[in-house]
Amino acid sequence: MTKQNIDRAPAHRQPIKFIKRSEMARHFTMAEAIDSMSRAFASLSAGDCYVPKRYIINTRDQSLTFLLKPAFIDDHDKSGIKILTQKNWNSIPGMPTILGIVLLIDNVTGEILSIMDGEFITALRTGAASGLATKLLSREDSHKAALFGGGRQGRTQVEAIDAVRKLDKIWIFDKSRQQAETFIKEMKDKISAPMQIADDPSILKEVDIVCTATNSDRPLFYKKHIRKGTHINAVGSFKPDMQELDPQLIRASRIYLDDRENVLNESGDFIRAIKDTRMNNPNIIGEIGECVLKSIPRRTSANDITLFKSVGSAIQDLVVASRIYDKSMTAPFGKEVRLYE
């Protein structure tokens, strides 16, 4: 530990702050989350952070998977690790398949500063990433949107794009009509734009922004359904056996990634696109963090089809958790517990 670090180390051990989902939702806004993504992705693209590959452990019978996702930022006083469990079969009705927590750690002392709900942070930062991409890449006159996937991720997708563009119509696609109806009922007080259930992808010819947040293993729509000038946020295909996008649509798009290496190695959308169309060099402009840093061009024409592909990065969790914790130090939320007493 350097003398500078010793000088700023606390005199006494710090309590662990437990921050509930409801407290985060009440005190941390989507606008703050989008701003956090700007910092997170700029740090990632600039090489100012260290994000090791996620560590995956399976139980002997393969029924449960544990995922550990750490992240560190240079010259930052906190680091983080997200711990997730994924139920692979025999899921319990009403219980999410993936559950987890985010641990925020003091880099000087090594203490755990806070434990936060990982499911909420994951959904929030994933939506915020699409909000940032929409702000940077979509046409400013974009007013109509479509969402594929009415789950928790879908909620933050819509909330985020509504925060950066003035939407006047949103179509909701979901294989379960009941889930789509529940989505609209729960979101109508958060989103001013009218929402309508849809099942015909031809409606996408009227849409300016498309978000996909599903676990599909085949394309949700095709290039023929997308008009020129559309912006697409695709966040659902984060494993090789998953697919949301038509390879020909990928080929026709200007592509921006959250993390180039992870997307090309993990996303079934790109693994299949490269294989199916033999396009060894997709039209990848760069990472969204490079857009933030202004080192690569954004949209160049009103006719561009822009595509933001995200598989998620632990740096997003760290930046959001750190900002929530800092805010909790001056606002009345979070329960402090001293486990060492």
pLDDT at site 5: 52
pLDDT at site 22: 95
What residues does 84 pair with on adjacent strands?
67, 100
> SS3 for 241?
coil
The tokens of 290 are what?
Answer: 């490079």
How confident is the model over 301-314, as pLDDT tens digits? 999 999 999 999 99
How confident is the model over 240-277, as pLDDT tens digits? 888 999 999 999 999 999 999 989 888 888 887 776 65
| Boundaries of every domain in the chain | 14-121+315-335, 129-311
Dump strand ranges (E) for 25-158: 49-50, 55-58, 64-73, 78-87, 98-106, 112-117, 144-148
pLDDT at site 111: 95
pLDDT at site 75: 86
Residue 15 CA to residue 3 CA, distance in Å, equals 24
pLDDT at site 89: 81
Give the chain's residues under pLDDT 50.
1-4
pLDDT at site 201: 96
Enter the CATH code of domain 129-311. Answer: 3.40.50.720
pLDDT at site 13: 86
Q: Which CATH class is domain 14-121+315-335?
A: alpha beta
Dump strand ranges (E) for the chain: 16-19, 49-50, 55-58, 64-73, 78-87, 98-106, 112-117, 144-148, 169-173, 195-197, 209-212, 231-234, 254-257, 284-287, 306-309, 335-337
pLDDT at site 123: 92
The answer to whether residues 75 and 49 touch, using CB atoms and an 8 Å cutoff, is no
pLDDT at site 280: 54
How far out from the chain centre does Cα 94 lie?
Answer: 23
Residue 263 CA to residue 269 CA, distance in Å, equals 9
